Structure 1
């Protein structure tokens, strides 16, 4: 098939072949998690050799009809909603931990900035903040003018 015909097939949705199977990556793009795939779909319909890396495990393919049937079920809706809630909770917990670490480090950073500060904590490792070395352009270089003899 000449290149221009292939390009036309990709642009024209009527001429494009309909996908018959989805990989696990395709399912994740649709909002599935690995646990949802195991629980709701079970074993894959096909296994094909990995086209990107020969030594990698085979790609698991699931029938589009079966996937769409499961996505219409009430069980899928409940499991997907729970996954979204868990994902949000994990994201919030990570943000809380990040803020706590940042707030715990701020007094130590301030104490290092003010060496004679009284509020320096006595326990725990000390955090030292050093300024980076000057860039080569920041150094003072004695330049000779072109009119001076060497």
Structure 2
């Protein structure tokens, strides 16, 4: 709820469908963070250095009215955001930039969707290929990590 309120200007009242959509995005984010931790990305020296720098900057620029709980949430959000970015770079973005044969294969498999030569729709093909990589990755993460949503609690939150 902290993340939802923060990204929606503190608004607690929302429709069930909107809250459910947000929850699904949040779950996908958390699954990617778990995968990054499983890969040991949170142990890398560059990650540790980046987090330390952020913590130092945050400490140097203490905001008036930010309590320790909010600060801890903010730090955790930053840590997880960096992990999600780093794992996404490895699992999606780099693959789409480095594996020319995979892009050609994806285009050939889905050529009917484009109707033009690869040279004319390359950007669209790469975007679709990245989307495909992400969907497959999330599907595998959801098989690896069991996620259950308490629908009754979600409905209660939607009524706030």
TM-score by length of 2: 0.27
Structure having the larger proportion of residues in helix: 2
- Higher radius of gyration, 1 or 2: 1
Greater relative contact order (Cα < 8 A, sep 6+): 2
TM-score by length of 1: 0.28
Structure having the larger proportion of residues in strand: 1
